[in-house]
With several copies, the nearest count.
Chain A
Amino acid sequence: MAPSPDESAPAPDAAELESVAEDASGFRVSLSNFDGPFDLLLNLISKHEMDITEVSLSKVTNEFIAYLRELGSDEDLDETSEFLVVAATLLDMKVAGLLPQGELVDAESVALLEARDLLFARLLQYRAFKEVSVWFARSLQYEDRRHARAVRLDEKHRARTPELVWTLSAADFGTLALLAFAPKEIPTVGLDHLHAPLVSIREQAAIVVTLLRSAESVTFREIVAGAVEPGVVVARFLSVLELYRHAALSFEQLEPLGELTLRWSAEHWTDEMLATLGADYDR
């Protein structure tokens, strides 16, 4: 993967922004071409000609999130939420990529690795089926052109079939028709329970700030104590990162993988700053 330090970044980024901007107008129209989140991911990955296992995560994540915003609220909720699940996983992976290697090997990072592997496994699987569907299309198309003998039976032979035994009255027939016309609803299971509620980084940051200001020092473990939703834990960690960027806190970690102790160190902090916190994740 190309190194992404500052000096080489601007040029490709600019070019990219352009291409994305170009696509953006077309994308809204062609959104339906992407049949599901994996389709979109594959498309983004192939656009950058990247190997599926070495995806430049932040690039693809940013575009995926951008496209996700275009989905809008009028789309099928089920489908939109599938996109959200993938987006959340991508974000997790992006966050993991921002961290120094080997710093986190606790339950959370293991879960993150699992989520990443899962996403890759699903993508690979989806890609395999997508590829083989080309064979299906070709075979079906070829066979469509073939002509098999399917000729009605000769009257002579038809006459030799056993006489039909008919037992239905007209009323029976009507009942049968009711049965035949009853819509064959395929029972569906709602997907609603699969979708975690959206977590706001800003809201979580407010909690983190309150916790930090209320004590001399707080460990990250304490900050996420009681958080049941993985999304909340992720959001609180993201807000810690963001607050660090704003020099609002300092942290201390005596040994790798050791306890992460956080101290509030903001000199000029106003609660208004919360409003813009994590804005990067909106884009």
Chain B
Amino acid sequence: MTDETMTDDAVAVELPLTEKLEAILLIIDEPHSLVSLAAAVGAPVPAVRQAIESLVDEYDGRGQGPRRGFELREVGGGWRLYVREDYDDLVADFVGGQAPARLSQAALETLAVIAYKQPVTRSQVASIRAVNVDSVVRTLLGRGLITELFQDSETGAINYGTTDALLQNLGINSLDELPPISPLLDDGSEGFDERIAR
């Protein structure tokens, strides 16, 4: 070691990246991307990625120590600490409280249409479901599962898309993880959208 490593900066660098990340992970209340975490701990993204991976392994008991009661999950485009699944019931009993109201079948179907067809307007969703979807869209907006993306400059129609909160609520990391749906969809909808738009 040289004298240089004794300056404050150098000491900061000496602290293990994994520990720094754990400190940040302990205080965040939503998923943070590798880039955001890298900025927080002042380390390059590849190093952060590696450190995160080793934390995942350690918490899962694949490191030197025992398995932990929590785990590190990548959800909704970022990393966040979660209670390990085995203990969800235990924690639920402890926390109490009621589960949030389930979404209606209409809301689920509308959500699915928006997830796969985004950006999509309400009237486009309505044409696929063949019912008025206004109140359902409101509910989904209120739950933060969808958001207004932009307004069509010509028609003034608002285009909707899904949020990161939806990904979190689904427990997936990106829209790519949605299950594939029938390829028939594309054919059917194209002609249809044109007709219904009249």
Contacts and interface: CB of A to CB of B under 8 A. Distances in A.
State yes or no: do A and B touch (Cβ within 8 Å).
yes
Interface stretch (B35-43, B53-61, B97-105): B97-105
A150 B113 contact: no
A139 B170 CA distance: 5
Interface stretch (B6-14, B44-52, B122-130): B122-130
B101 A165 contact: yes
Interface residues of A, number: 74
A188 interface: yes
Interface in B86-144: 88-89, 91-92, 95-96, 99-103, 105-106, 108-113, 115-116, 122-123, 128-132, 134, 137-138, 141-143
B91 A181 contact: no
Interface in B142-198: 142-143, 156, 158, 168-172, 177-182, 184-185, 187-189, 191-192, 195-196
B99 A150 contact: no
Contacts of B15: none
Contact of A162 (B29, B101, B112, B177): B101
Nearest to A35: B106
A175 B188 CA distance: 15
Nearest to A145: B88
A152 B113 CA distance: 22
Given A173-B170, A177-B112, A186 B158 contact: yes
B103 A148 contact: no
A140 B130 contact: no
B1 interface: no
Contacts of A160: 92, 95-96
Contacts of A189: 123
A146 interface: yes
B92 to A, nearest CB: 4
Contacts of A132: 112, 116, 178-179, 181
A59 interface: no
A156 B95 CA distance: 11
A128 B131 CA distance: 16
Contact of B88 (A157, A168, A180, A187): A157
Interface in A226-273: none
A149 B29 contact: yes
B131 A147 contact: no
B90 to A, nearest CB: 10
B176 to A, nearest CB: 11
Nearest to B192: A183
Contact of A148 (B80, B96, B181): B80
Count chain B CB atoms within 10 A of each CB in A125, A130, A175, A184 and give the residue with the most.
Answer: A125
Count chain A CB atoms within 10 A of each CB in B25, B26, B111, B137 and give the residue with the most.
Answer: B111
A122 B116 contact: no
What 4 A-B pairs have minimum CB-CB distances, sorted nearest first? A174-B179, A121-B188, A36-B131, A160-B92
